[in-house]
Structure 1
Amino acid sequence: MEDLTNVERAVELLQKLGLKEYEAKCFVALTQLPSGTAKHISEISEVPRTRVYDAVRVLETQGLVEIQHANPQRFRAVSIDEAAQTLRSEYESRTESLRETLQGVEAATVDDEVDVSHEVWALSGSAAIATRTTQLVDEAESEVVLIVGHESALTDDLVERLESAQDRGVSVVVGTVSESLHEDVRAVLPGAEAFVSELEWLRSTAADDATEITRLLLVDRTTILVSTTHSGGATGEQSEQAVFGRGFENGLVTIVRRLMSTGLFPVDDPYADPAADGGSSDAS
């Protein structure tokens, strides 16, 4: 698929934020003009002139467009920064309303109990995986061990959550797969224990291997999340997937915990001691 132009991409993003197609096209057209009439907007946006008026009225009610009542009427978009803030506030308001509404939905009951110690779940999409990562960090009570495989995983939001975890007394240990990432971690999280991993398989070295480990998270030694990013297709588009599990006896958690005690940390690191694994009560 050919890359979208900035105009097409802007229209697409505005639609994802709740605007209809004609509204999005008219707004983008107005950002290209100091001000304009319906005729100007129609010529630039290719929106039928009779539909421009309806679209602009909606944009005005949303605080995105100003109207000059002249003859003919003239319109202009608010500044880009103001528009972004207005849309952000509206989006946050809607998501908060959604959260409160969903919390009020009555839970259904089914006769299907599952042993959580054997659950392994899959999750797709970078945004969803980043959200789950920060959620798990927020739940930590004693220890967070995070291995950063790609710089994209070390977001500002995650750094803030890790700092908050430290403030409440949680031990935060951050490993990286390279020296450059190690320096980045030390710069943004000076209070965390940081190291460069000694596990070679964390690094993608094969020329034909388009998959790399993005992050590996272990929380309180009972919850694990591993995510990978795969580059494929003619455009090299990237997609991220993750698996996670909970429970001290969960097989996935057990495997990763044991890997961490046999090569993940530097040999002189106190976390490398297998005895720190809780007495190896999960044997088998």
Structure 2
Amino acid sequence: MDANQNLEEAVEVLQQLGLKEYEARCFVGLSRLRSGTAKQLSETTEVPRTRVYSAIRMLEAQGLVEIQHSSPQQFRAVPLEEATETLRDQYEARVERLHDALETVEVVDADDESPVQQVWAMTGRDAIENRTNDLVGEATDEIVLVVGNESLLTEDLIDTLNGVGNGVDLLIGALTETLQDRIQTTVPDATTFISGLEWLHGENAARNDTAIGRLLLVDRSALLVSSIMPGTKEEQAIFGEGLGNGLVVIARRLMAQGLLTVRDPKQ
């Protein structure tokens, strides 16, 4: 990625964090200058000079820019570490406000009868990992997890798995001995095994095949299955809860292939 692409990416990320385009461009422009006037900043960023002043005022109000009231005025960005910490605090505060606001929203039931079995689709690695962590954290009896892609065994997931209560059986399947060794080292309380599902193994799959990401069954009632899409490497998943006993039994037996019966606490 060249310098211009890095600058454009920085502008895009700042907009995602809540800055308007001219504000983002002015902040990125000032990050390239020790200090600058409105004229210099306009020439650097191609932001109209008349719009630079309003953008700078907004950036100053957010603690991202300092102003020297000379003639002409000089502007400079605060140090990068300080700016990123300020933006992080603002972002987290917005998330907390959103949570507090939505938590008080009254749920309207369109139908008094809820289906016993529900299956939903999800997209995005962060969202799927959050759902995985939530399900693991809520387990009261048993967790069966098969990791189909080593990149999905993140530090957050490892921390969540290590936080599982003593009364919960934790069974984790891996594709390779190397991954199994890593799981045994990082999650020592888990019973690990090499998955017997041959179609999970990347080396046996064609380049354009969709690869399984993770398989998770919690308390024999909640099932999450994800896949890694070829090309984009985007993770997609289906999630079901309140599933029928027959489906759960089949899913568990498939997922536990490779786990010796004598070591399986639920067989």
Provide the TM-score with structure 2 as the length reference: 0.89
| CA deviation profile, 1:101-142 (whole Å, cap 9, x unmatched) | 1111111121262332x2221111112111111111111112
Post-superposition shift, 1:230? 0.5
* 2:260 is the counterpart of 1:270: no
Q: How many residues align?
A: 263
Q: Counterpart in 2 of 1:13?
A: 13
How many Å separate the matches in 1 of 2:43 and 2:171?
57
How many Å separate the matches in 2 of 1:177 and 1:142?
24
Q: Counterpart in 1 of 2:148?
A: 149
Q: Counterpart in 2 of 1:140?
A: 139
How many Å separate the matches in 1 of 2:217 and 2:78?
46
How is 1:72-221 mapped onto 2 (pairs within 5 angstroms)?
Answer: 72-111=72-111, 113-116=113-116, 118-166=117-165, 169-204=167-202, 205-221=204-220
How many Å separate the matches in 2 of 1:64 and 1:50?
20
Contact 1:137 1:161 in 2 (8 A): yes
C-alpha RMSD of matched pairs (Å): 2.1
Post-superposition shift, 1:14? 0.9
| CA deviation profile, 1:213-247 (whole Å, cap 9, x unmatched) | 11111112221111101023xxxx22211011123
How many Å separate the matches in 2 of 1:68 and 1:210?
59
Contact 1:64 1:78 in 2 (8 A): yes
Identity within the alignment, % = 52
Contact 2:37 2:75 in 1 (8 A): yes
How many Å separate the matches in 2 of 1:189 and 1:7?
40
* 1:238 alignment partner, SS class: coil
How many Å separate the matches in 2 of 1:31 and 1:258?
57
Post-superposition shift, 1:143? 2.1
What residue identity is the alignment partner of 2:113? E
Provide the TM-score with structure 1 as the length reference: 0.85
Structure 2: gaps of 5 or more residues: none
Contact 2:146 2:255 in 1 (8 A): no
Post-superposition shift, 1:34? 2.0
